[in-house]
Chain A
Amino acid sequence: MTGSRRLPLLLLPAGLFVLAIYAWPTLLLLRNAFNEVGPTGAMVEAWSLKTATDTFADGFTLELTLNSLQLSLSATAIALALSYPLSLFLFRTDSRFRGLLAVIAILPMLISGVVRVFGWLAILGDRGLVNTMLQSLGLISAPIKLVFNWTGVTIGLAESIMPYMVLALLAGFGQLDRTLEEASRSLGASPVRTFWRVTLPLSLPAIVLAAGLGFVLSMSAYITPKLLGGGRVFVLATEIFEQATTNTNWPVAAVLAIYTLGLLLFLLVLSNLLARSLRR
């Protein structure tokens, strides 16, 4: 085929676009990471590792990392527990509403993150839906704190990554052949045993892929931890923003950004390798 040699040309538009709006700014960011901050707080052009070593020597960086990892882990776990059965249903159902149901499942993706967060505030706030309901039922006397803390951020993150995880799961379920489950049942395995012995092992690559995606999205989320955390939840993304805008400390922001980027890439590669080894 003569066309196959020219096939890479198709990558050109997207390639140029990514180069202009992603690769170039990232390089600038990298350059900034080597700059220093003078005593007045102004940025000093330099080629030094001082900002980086200072940032990593600060115990707060480790705390931010652990916060980010912990929040992402719990959000991913919750989202997975909710989206796996949902995706399996969507994958399997013969309902003629299947297409519609799938769209509903991923609909939150189409709503602005800020709007979604305000929705959560209305539901989880002190005078929100949940607390009013529990109080009127007499189950609690004082409102439970569901927002402006870790609980709120975890709920918000879990909800925001769910649509992406549903899509990743649906895409990854490809090899989940129904006759395999029928074979399992014909061999004497009950539906529950069939799930553990056949369905779950075969959907493991999809689970790893979806979890990897959800985790990375949670790690890089800014709006949800910022707004639902109410300034009490500190993660890498919020700190980068803080340093870059409020403190105008660009070198530190750059160091943290590059560090987060590296962390995310590492996690993505890890989950992909894991998914691939499971698929084999």
Chain B
Amino acid sequence: MISEKTKYALGSVTQIPLGEGRNFRIGDTEIAIFHTRQGIYATQAECPHRRGPLADGLVGGTQVTCPFHAWKFDLKTGEPQMGSCALQTYPVHLTESGDIELTFLGEAARFAS
């Protein structure tokens, strides 16, 4: 059963310093939200390589570099610059009042679809 409630208000974007990322937990899932100079992005929290914390990575444009072994991913698409696994990305946007709104169907939906 897919929950109908799929929009999550994560609060003000000021919780995340410009150019950095922070993790948010929804149910059992951690999601990294990045407050970049290009906009706001959401991806899975851990690097597929060795589970590095992507939110702690350095961001350049729309690319994040994992702090563990410098794997690089595009925040918009999740595509890796090298290596194999792409990141799961999630639709996210800022409301007019500067709040982060995330659309998240839950892990079950990912596999059901």
- Our verdict on whether A and B bind, yes or no, reads no
